[in-house]
Amino acid sequence: MFTNPNLRDQNDNLPFNQPKQKHDPSDSSFPDSFILAKLLAEEKKNTGSGAKALIITENQENAEKISAEINFFDKDINIKLFPDWEILPYEPFSPHEDLVSNRLLTLYEAIKGNLDGIILSAHTALMRLPPKDFVAGHTFFLKKNQKIRLKGLIDQLNIAGYTNNTHVVSPREYSTRGNIIDLFPMGSSTPYRLELIDDEIETIKIFDPDTQRTLYPAEEIRILPSREFPIGKSSADRFRINWRKNFEGDPLKCTLYRDVGKEIFGSGIEYYLPFLHEKLDTIFSYLKNDGKIYEIGETARAIEKQALEINQRYDYLKHDMARPICPPESISIQQHQFTAAKKNFKNIDIYAISKPLKISLLPNLGIDGGINNDLDKFKVALEDNKLGHKVLVVTSNAGRAETIHTLMNKISIPSRVVSTFKEFETNSKKDNSSKLCLSIVKGFMVHGFKIPEFSVITEFDLFRGLHHVADKNEKKNERNVENFIKNLSELQIGSPVVHIDHGIGRYRGLKEVDIGEEANEFLHLEYANSASLYVPVSQLACINRYCGSDPENAPLHVLGSERWNKEKTKAIKQVRDTAAKLLGLYAKRAAKKGYSFQFNQSEFEEFSNGFEYIETTDQKSAIQAVVQDMISEKPMDRLICGDVGFGKTEVALRASFLAVSSGKQVAVLAPTTLLAEQHYQTFKDRFASFPFEICELSRFRKKSENIKSVKDIENGRVDIVIGTHKLIAGNIKFKDLGLIIIDEEHRFGVRQKEKFREIRSEIDTIAMTATPIPRTLSMSMEGIRDFSIIASAPQKRLAIKTFVRHEDNFFVKEALIRELRRGGQAYVIHNEVRTINHKLEKLQKLVPEARIGIAHGQMAEKELELVMRNFNQKKFNVLLSSTIIETGIDIPSANTIIIYRADKFGLAQLHQLRGRVGRSHHQAYAYLLTPGQESLNKNAKKRLEAIQSMEELGSGFFLAMHDLEIRGAGEVLGENQSGNITEIGFSLYAEMLENAVRYLKEGKKENFDLLDTPTVEIKLHVPSILPKNYCPDVNERLILYKKLAESHTELDLLKVEEELIDRFGLLPKEAKNLVLSHQIRIKAKDYDLIKLDATEKSITITLNEKPKINVERLLQKIQQNDSIKLIGENKIRFVVTSNNIADYKRNIEEVFFTVSNKKIILGI
């Protein structure tokens, strides 16, 4: 097994259940997973029912990390991560079906003896599980050519707890259409489509849930139970009998009990598992009789903490007679039971086992971010034998592996790319030489280690600060989000685009054109009078999306006419005037001296630790930006744009803490009373342990309370005040106001915001919004205001599935029943108070099992408040409401919203309403109902299309960009939202304005070129494209061509190259030529070349009029070398011989050396 022959004996003879010397859990660099992989591989020969090993970690994060790393070391080890429910003990929520799916799959695989190990966190290991006979007995298979009656199959699916829906999009769903059955089994990553002919399964095919199109055939389907308990009448009866046996009082007063009587197994029912099974098992029941247990980190402390939390929550919640709960010992095993259960198995201390391996940590490589200099240090470490002769570098993807391979070659370190860790290990054993051998592999590993035989280094160890491994769900940083308007990702046939030199035309597709010795792809643009322009993909930097008015009415230009140049000239004049005004605003802001808040690191961290979630990357950036703004003397004016539920409030909380810690007052302005009330509760909770006074001014407060609060604000007894329009009333005077926070800024009129700002013109201001109105967005993008985007979703958050449908009772009933069956809640938006009671009667007839409440703005304050609290406490499971719930309602169990007459709402309003759902781990649904397509006007159709297309989390910013297109971009300095820059498009206008402001700041004269974007033309006369068989999707190729064309540095180009390799595989010859041409373009621009034309016999370059290179030295070289000729003004020809691409590269490198006297190396 290991290199030490005595190690296996030590493994077999370890004393059981004795106190072990624990490895320091804070030292994440210890290779737990490497040792576990070796031990699990040794156990693979054992057979029989049950998992062979149980690996218990102190938290879920370590479980996920170790699970991935074990499979990196040995892909043959079948290990399953057993996920947690991800809900607190006794919380009235159910786990997401994906989590349940993975849990059931793990338990089933363990029963069948297919698992080498189960890995889970300590607190998950404590919870009781469904019995083995339930998991095995409720699992069945469907095979091709199997005889089965359609009705019998549907009955089986219903018994297993599957739900019949029109479209199958999630696990636990099925649908039937004649002899076709769509089915999404638990434990499967894809749905299946079955075709039955004469009671026989003719075909089984996997299909795409998004397109609903079949992909490829399958032979068999395994169908696991839908939940961790049986459902149906017998299960409901068992539940009700056990409830009456264990709980006192009238059970009919309990909503959960009544719902189960209707066979609705409500949200949070998992904590009543003892009522749904005759007996429960534990995770130890799924382990082989001679299985082994490995504990990683401080598991004992984690077990103690989980047991304490369960008991504390039980003591706190057990008195709720409306929802009585099971005692802790019935849902989890106690600490002494956990310890006793472990003694039935062999407990292995991996830290003791690892001693003979002589594992040591890596030396500090001292690499901080620069490529060339820092790699020299790494080279020294290799040559000094600090890492041994056999070294493996682990990278996150194939593209990065190729990059490091190239970098090693540049510093003369021999390297090779291997497929797996096992391949590296095998090669290392075969190679007995003392010669340095560096291997590179794609895989997941956080930290490396060293043993006498070899060293393992990860890119985290190698490139601290330079390389960042992005999670698959992680969004780009805010500057990339801002560049959305220049992106061609949404370009469709017929979409308008702007060419810097030729104006506005329509995109007609990518065309491959063979122009002699080379094939190339061109962007086909159609202009007025059906004229065509073909733009090489290498010049896509000259093209942007047109964004400024209705795309269908975009003004097309005539090729070769002066109209475009006249419009550009007119726009340039307007831009220069605007830029001068902007500089005036900048000067005014710079002249105003704001307050520099005091920043105490320890106090700020103490407050920040009260945030119970992990900050997302964008959230951290926004917090850091706000802190920097506040500690500077310049008054802050920052817009924070983040989707609903993405953490804008936490940014406001931390800014408020910084302000009140410095002795200043904070005013929080909310557009509705409900939102003000929610903010008040949130602020009170977060500041509970700090000595600051918080008050609320709203109609929910008594008049006497509001009068007292106003006095306390004036004398400084109140530190933070939260309110609505009352805050901008003239009778409120602050003693020392330091920070203003405006939430949902787009809901206020300009005059309201300006009036509030008049209170103190030097006050730091934060505006927060999920969908900023176009003028606000324009102002932010053009630099009048600072701009932060929180576009990365919280962990495990799912995108809201959005459907635009005509009003139909079938869809409404299906949507509500789907939500109620999973124990959730729903909103129904009906924005006509006059007819809302009539709508209530219809809904009650449609879904009689629903408990429906009503809320609208004409209700008395106390009545409205009572309705909202009852809905929050789940006394209603459907809320029929006007748009009063648009902001301020945060109910995680509400995950379906139905909006009647969605065509009457604006884009921002629709986005806000949709944001009321999807605030938990549950899949959320939004149904936008309209009277019919024929009754919709053009803009309503576009709004509905836009919000349906922007399902992705964090789409608020992008919806605002769509609003710019639908309504027209606004004038930057005026209140008019219609705008007058449709002639050239918002993206080009913004780019020109940015250049104008920069040039004026630099003191340039007024005749500067606002479109100073010089392009370099590169002609290699070899095919330079992304072949269709390499990247088949046209839109995908277009996006990648644009990325290549906009790569301004070698690092930019390197990232695109890595993306290509990672997504599509190693580059074919044509793609290598394409990347090479862009690498030459970047180098040529550095040396003031405007054209390079390379053939087999010559390379011709054209310099710009005022090159920065040493022209005299270049002329001397021309005189001394007959192969270099000056053939025109600024044009030089080099006579060469090129037989292949390697010759091309070498010859071009020589040309660059001749021109610049600097040696370069071209990659690829």
What digits encode the pLDDT tens for the residues 481-510? 334 444 555 567 888 888 888 888 998 888
Lowest mean pLDDT among 12-21, 114-123, 348-357: 12-21
Q: Tell me the pTM.
A: 0.59
Cα separation values, 996 from 482, 575, 780, 1008, Å: 18, 7, 16, 8
Burial class (CB in 10 A: 0-12, 13-18, 19+), 981: buried
Question: Does residue 901 come out as left (phi exceeding 0), alpha (psi in the -120 to 50 range) or beta?
Answer: left
What 558-567 contacts at long range (C-beta under 8 Å, 24+ apart), as own/partner pairs, is 558/527, 558/528, 558/529, 558/531, 559/502, 559/527, 559/528, 559/531, 559/533, 563/503, 564/502, 564/503, 564/504, 567/503, 567/983, 567/984
Q: List for the chain the helix, strand, coil content (%; round to 5).
A: 40, 20, 40
* Token pair for 141: 């298979």
Nearest C-alpha neighbor of 799 from the set 999, 951, 1018: 951
What digits encode the pLDDT tens for the residues 1139-1155? 677 787 888 888 888 88
Cα separation values, 225 from 134, 137, 156, 820, Å: 9, 9, 10, 20
What digits encode the pLDDT tens for the residues 516-556? 666 678 889 999 888 999 888 878 778 877 766 666 777 88
Nearest C-alpha neighbor of 398 from the set 445, 441, 437: 441
Query: Nearest-5° angle of CA 779, CA 784, CA 790?
Result: 70
What DSSP string runs through 336-360? HHHHHHHTTSEEE-HHHHTGGGT-B
Q: Which amino acid is at 464?
A: R
Cα separation values, 893 from 334, 722, 923, 960, 1102, Å: 30, 26, 11, 28, 66
Q: Taking residues 464-489, report their average pLDDT.
A: 40
Burial class (CB in 10 A: 0-12, 13-18, 19+), 647: buried
Nearest C-alpha neighbor of 941 from the set 806, 812, 809, 810: 806
pLDDT band at 604, cuts 50/70/90? very high
Site of tokens 């030396």:
363
What digits encode the pLDDT tens for the residues 613-641? 778 778 888 999 999 999 988 888 888 88
Question: Domains, the chain, ranges and CATH?
Answer: 7-134+263-355 (3.40.50.11180), 140-223 (3.30.2060.10), 360-367+388-462 (3.40.50.11140), 478-573+983-1001 (2.40.10.170), 592-790 (3.40.50.300), 801-951 (3.40.50.300), 1017-1156 (3.90.1150.50)
Mean pLDDT of the chain: 80
Residue 1100 has pLDDT above 50, yes or no: yes
Nearest C-alpha neighbor of 888 from the set 774, 747, 764: 747
The β-bridge relationship of strands 1131-1135 and 1098-1103 is antiparallel
Nearest-angstrom CA–CA distance, 256 and 239: 11
Give 304's Cβ-side CA count (13 Å radius).
4
Nearest-angstrom CA–CA distance, 837 and 916: 22
> Contact, 840 vs 881, CB < 8 A?
no
What digits encode the pLDDT tens for the residues 313-361? 899 888 888 899 999 999 999 999 999 999 999 998 888 887 777 888 7
Q: How many CB atoms lie within 10 A of CB 875?
A: 13
Nearest-angstrom CA–CA distance, 245 and 231: 20
3-state DSSP assignment of residue 153? helix
Residue 229 is predicted with a pLDDT of: 94
